[in-house]
Amino acid sequence: MGAKAIALAAGKQFYTTGKPCKYGHNPKRRTCTGRCVECENVSSLLRAKTDAGKATRQRYRETETGLIKERARTAKYHKSDKGKAARKKYRESEKGKAARARALARRKAKRG
């Protein structure tokens, strides 16, 4: 029995052959497809930069699951130190100050 057959029988998601793929990546492969995990990551990143990849990502974001995950990811970022620093930097920039002034003017106009 080969490494893939043993992994399938054990119900594992990944297996190793001990040899690198033809592009020299680590030997970790997916049991369901036999593809190298690193090769999958590279092709996924390349596709994400194409117009088709961007359209696919936009359609996913418009689904209910996509919206929930996007909101959770955004909330996690805003709570992180990196997110807080980015907001502070924006507020102190000219663009941020102008946006704040416009928002204040809208609130005053709304009140009457």
24 Rama class: left (phi>0) / alpha (psi -120 to 50) / beta: left
Q: Is the pLDDT assigned to residue 1 strictly greater than 90?
A: no
Per-residue pLDDT tens over the stretch 58-111: 999 899 999 999 999 999 999 999 999 999 999 999 999 999 999 999 999 988
What ranges do the domains of the chain cover?
3-48
pLDDT in the model for residue 59: 94
Q: Is the pLDDT assigned to residue 27 strictly greater than 90?
A: no
Per-residue pLDDT tens over the stretch 68-78: 999 999 999 99
User: What proportion of the chain, given as a percentage, has pLDDT over 70?
Assistant: 100
- Do 31 and 4 form a contact (C-beta atoms < 8 A)? yes
Q: What is the mean pLDDT of residues 17-30?
A: 90
- Do 29 and 40 form a contact (C-beta atoms < 8 A)? no
Tokens representing 45 are: 């990143």
Strand 14-16 relative to strand 28-30, pairing = antiparallel
pLDDT in the model for residue 92: 96
